[in-house]
């Protein structure tokens, strides 16, 4: 059974650019959550999607957005990148809810 | 606030038991979780405990829950080099999972 796949694994952007990260959940999982991981702030919840609807949202500015497609794949977008957006972005999927999560390996974003 | 707190570092000799502690904040959390993160990888669910339980054992892992003090611990028996990782406790609050700061476990040969 394939795990959670995130692409790209690594990327480098410059300030002001935008980035789109992709996440393919485990087959049959309808919930996809996104987290930002940094050394200073730890793991911070970004948002959760379930059946194409955003079900929950963390405390991030509007530059951070996401969506989920009918096949449960999800993307997140960060516009007008700032240096502080450098982080590991983790996607996790679950069958129904936010507790038992299966994580992908993450997309490491570096903003120069 | 929703700060879930853990000690940042723990060093244990190979073969000894490791005890990782966590203090959570949301007394209404129905489940509490332990996740493990190895270098360069995402998080992996280790175990979880329902809030009406005091203890759960799963092979080398023992979870203890003290609801009165909002204290959760993870004991790893016979710690091995493969247990080197960062361990996160997490609670459910407002229908989202809130993670602790993580404890980096280092195994001393």
Give the tens place of pLDDT for each residue, B24-80: 988 787 899 999 999 988 999 999 999 889 999 999 999 999 999 999 999 999 999
Q: Do A45 and B95 touch (CB under 8 A)?
A: no
Structure tokens of B34?
A: 């332990």
A100 lies within 8 A of chain B by CB: yes
Q: pLDDT value at position A59?
A: 93
Nearest to B42 among A55, A58, A104 (CB): A104
CB A13 within 8 A of CB A112: yes
Structure tokens of B58?
A: 């799963």
Asked whether the predicted pLDDT for residue B95 surpasses 90, the reply is no
A90 lies within 8 A of chain B by CB: yes
Residues with pLDDT less than 50, chain A: none
Nearest to B99 among A42, A100, A102 (CB): A42
CB A22 within 8 A of CB A77: no
Q: What is the pLDDT of residues A33-57, one digit of tens each?
A: 999 999 988 999 999 999 999 999 9
Nearest to A2 by CA among A106, A100, A93, A98: A93
The percent of residues in chain A predicted with pLDDT above 90, rounded, is 92
């Amino acid at each position: 059974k394939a795990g959670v796949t995130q692409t790209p694994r690594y990327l480098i952007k410059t300030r002001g650019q935008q980035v789109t990260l992709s996440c393919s959940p485990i087959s049959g999982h309808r919930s996809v959550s996104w987290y930002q991981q940094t050394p200073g702030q730890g793991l911070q919840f970004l948002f959760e999607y379930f059946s194409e609807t955003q079900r929950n949202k963390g405390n991030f500015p509007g530059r951070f957005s996401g969506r989920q497609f009918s096949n449960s794949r999800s993307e997140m977008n960060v516009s007008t990148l700032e240096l502080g957006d450098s982080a590991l972005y983790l996607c996790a999927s679950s069958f129904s809810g936010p507790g038992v999560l299966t994580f992908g390996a993450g997309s490491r974003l570096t903003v120069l | 606030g929703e700060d879930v707190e853990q000690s940042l570092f723990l060093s244990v000799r190979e073969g000894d038991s490791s005890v990782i502690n966590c203090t959570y904040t949301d007394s209404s959390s129905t489940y509490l979780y332990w996740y493990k993160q190895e270098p360069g990888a995402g998080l992996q669910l280790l175990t979880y405990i329902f809030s009406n339980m005091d203890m759960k054992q799963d092979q080398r892992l023992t979870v203890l829950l003290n609801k009165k003090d909002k204290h959760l611990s993870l004991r790893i028996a016979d710690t091995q080099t493969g247990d080197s990782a960062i361990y996160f406790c997490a609670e459910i609050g407002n229908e989202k999972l809130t993670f602790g700061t993580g404890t980096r476990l280092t195994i001393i040969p």
